[in-house]
């Protein structure tokens, strides 16, 4: 299908023990023979690593490095084309020189995701599997990696394939009735077909409903710590990230800008943000920081309002609670290691409709309650069977929702006695939508949007 040969570095940039340079295309073997001094040894031993001397004849560089090269013959390769993978030492100079040699010999630099795009267009994987490749590369938690691996194995496609076959059978039956039978289908047959379509719609709807959990696992949550200066936000932040990430001093206003870190709670990725303390100030830099705090509160999925259990009072508590009144929030009363909270603080928080959590950022008391409350603030993480397939991709969710709605519409049309053509319109729409999901019917703009989010070399 493709006439050119692409090349890219498949390992992350920077220094490392090993770097992998990958080529794919009709001239991959020829170019490898030019630059690797391997003659036909690669062709004679596909799928076996061959010791090679990497050189750059075009620039009269006879010895770049000694490495290993492996040939994967078409069509039994990742892309469905001839693929050569070259492992060299991970010096950026060696990697760049190797890449330059391959380009001079006739390859071109791959665009982001082009290897996986070729795998898709050559029928090695479907579109949901291609997206799973990206999700595996970008996974930050074990849950993300496991669900991406399941999708890469084709679980979503395999789940939909029998359903599509059932829809095709119904379409054939209805089309035959329209074309070859003068009388309408019998009422009992209408009822059977309507029930079949409603059953299929319910299956898709059940799959769609898993997105509530899948979205949390895939996208995670943005969580902002907010409170007055010296309330212990940075200490609590460091406790939650298990690292001295934020500067902590007794001086109020130490934190002037946003400090963020990624953590994981029950498999859900969390982007935790520490912020400047909320107060009126004449210090221009601190005032900018307070403005950024308020923006972070507005953008957060969950706000952790940190109350100083020893210094905050009824006068300071009201404005703090007002700052987060439109947010999903967790209110913590800090510094319990110094004694019980000041009189009336807990009662005032409860009067605002929130049950506070008593914590000590110094000792770690109450930290597990805070972690649990973060997920509870967004409705919690429903219990899902470990072998359940989850929809984690917004594109998949929308297409499944549309397909389910189209099938329900077709089922209702049959049940209400409308013509077969009306039911067929809904069936064809559902089939088209499921085809968009797997890539069987997809437009170039969609492919461009999806594969532009990939890293180069994948």
pLDDT, one tens digit per residue, over 275-325 is: 888 877 777 877 888 888 889 889 999 999 999 888 887 778 888 888 888
**132-210+390-439 is a CATH 1.20.120.430 domain:** yes
> What architecture is domain 220-376?
3-Layer(aba) Sandwich (3.40)
Which tokens is 118 given?
Answer: 């070729």
pLDDT, one tens digit per residue, over 15-71 is: 999 999 999 999 999 999 999 875 678 888 899 999 999 988 877 777 889 999 999
Choose the weakest-confidence range: 138-142, 150-154, 298-302. Answer: 138-142
**Interstrand relation of 268-274 and 259-265 (parallel, antiparallel or unpaired):** antiparallel
> What is the band of 124 on the pLDDT scale with cuts at 50, 70, 90?
very high
Give the CA distances from residue 286 to residues 47, 116, 258, 323, in Å, rounded to whole numbers and listed in that order: 61, 47, 11, 17
Q: Helix, strand, or coil here: 26?
A: coil
| Four-point Cα dihedral 40, 45, 47, 50, nearest 10 | -70
Q: Are 86 and 36 in contact (CB under 8 A)?
A: yes
Q: Helix, strand, or coil here: 407?
A: helix
| Percentage of residues in the chain having pLDDT higher than 90 | 47
Q: What is the DSSP string of 156-217?
A: HHHHHHHHHHHHHHHHHHHHHHHHH-SSPPPHHHHHHHHHHHHHHHHHHHHHHHTHHHHHHH
d(CA 245, CA 238): 6
The ranges assigned to domains in the chain are 6-125, 132-210+390-439, 220-376
d(CA 201, CA 212): 18
Tell me which H or E stretch contains 126: none
Tell me which H or E stretch contains 35: helix 28-36
pLDDT, one tens digit per residue, over 71-82 is: 999 999 999 999
What average pLDDT does range 335-357 have in this prediction?
86
Superfamily of domain 6-125: Probable tRNA modification gtpase trme; domain 1 (3.30.1360.120)
∠ CA 263-264-267 to the nearest 5 degrees? 165
Residue 49 dihedral angles phi and psi, to the nearest 5°: -75, 130
What pLDDT, on a 0 to 100 scale, did the predictor assign at position 270?
Answer: 92
Q: Are 99 and 9 in contact (CB under 8 A)?
A: yes
- Sequence-distant (6+) residues with CB within 8 A of 111 are 6, 451, 456
Q: The pTM is what?
A: 0.80
């Amino acid at each position: 299908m493709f006439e050119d040969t692409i090349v890219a570095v498949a390992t992350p940039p920077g220094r490392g023990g090993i770097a992998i340079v990958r080529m794919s295309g009709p001239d991959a073997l020829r170019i490898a023979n030019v630059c690797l001094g391997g003659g036909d040894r690669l062709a004679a031993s596909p799928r076996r690593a061959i010791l090679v001397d990497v050189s750059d004849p075009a620039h009269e560089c006879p010895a770049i490095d000694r490495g290993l090269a492996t040939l994967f013959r078409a069509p039994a390769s990742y892309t469905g084309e001839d693929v050569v993978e070259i492992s060299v030492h991970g010096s950026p100079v060696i990697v760049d020189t190797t890449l330059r040699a391959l380009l001079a010999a006739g390859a071109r630099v791959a665009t982001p995701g082009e290897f996986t795009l070729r795998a898709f267009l050559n029928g090695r994987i479907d579109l949901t599997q291609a997206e799973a490749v990206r999700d595996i590369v970008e996974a930050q938690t074990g849950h993300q990696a496991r669900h991406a691996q399941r999708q890469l194995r084709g679980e979503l496609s395999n789940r939909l394939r029998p359903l599509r076959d059932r829809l095709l059978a119904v379409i054939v039956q209805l089309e035959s009735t329209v074309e070859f039978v003068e009388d309408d289908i019998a009422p009992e047959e209408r009822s059977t077909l309507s029930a079949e379509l409603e059953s299929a719609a319910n299956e898709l709807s059940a799959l769609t409903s898993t997105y509530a959990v899948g979205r949390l696992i895939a996208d995670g949550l943005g969580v902002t710590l907010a409170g007055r200066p010296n309330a212990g936000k940075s200490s609590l932040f460091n406790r939650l990230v298990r690292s001295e990430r934020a500067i902590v001093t007794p001086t109020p206003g130490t934190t002037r800008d946003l400090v963020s870190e990624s953590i994981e709670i029950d498999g859900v990725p969390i982007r935790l943000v520490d912020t400047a303390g909320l107060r009126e100030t004449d210090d221009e830099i601190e005032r900018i920081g307070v403005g950024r705090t308020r923006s972070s509160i507005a953008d957060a999925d969950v706000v952790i309002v940190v109350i100083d259990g020893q210094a905050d009072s009824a006068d300071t508590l009201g404005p703090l609670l007002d700052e987060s009144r439109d947010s999903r929030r967790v209110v913590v009363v800090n510094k319990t290691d110094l004694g019980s909270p000041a009189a009336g603080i807990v009662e005032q928080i409860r009067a605002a409709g929130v049950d506070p959590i008593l914590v000590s950022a110094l000792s770690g008391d109450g930290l597990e309650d805070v972690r649990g409350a973060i997920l509870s603030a967004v409705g919690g993480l429903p219990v899902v069977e470990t072998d359940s397939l989850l929809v984690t991709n917004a594109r998949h969710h929308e297409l499944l929702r549309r397909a389910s709605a189209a099938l329900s519409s077709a089922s209702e049309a049959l049940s209400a006695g409308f013509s077969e053509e009306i039911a067929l319109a809904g069936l064809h729409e559902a089939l088209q939508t499921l085809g968009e999901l797997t890539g069987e019917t997809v437009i170039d703009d969609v492919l461009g949007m999806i594969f532009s989010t990939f890293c180069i070399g994948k």
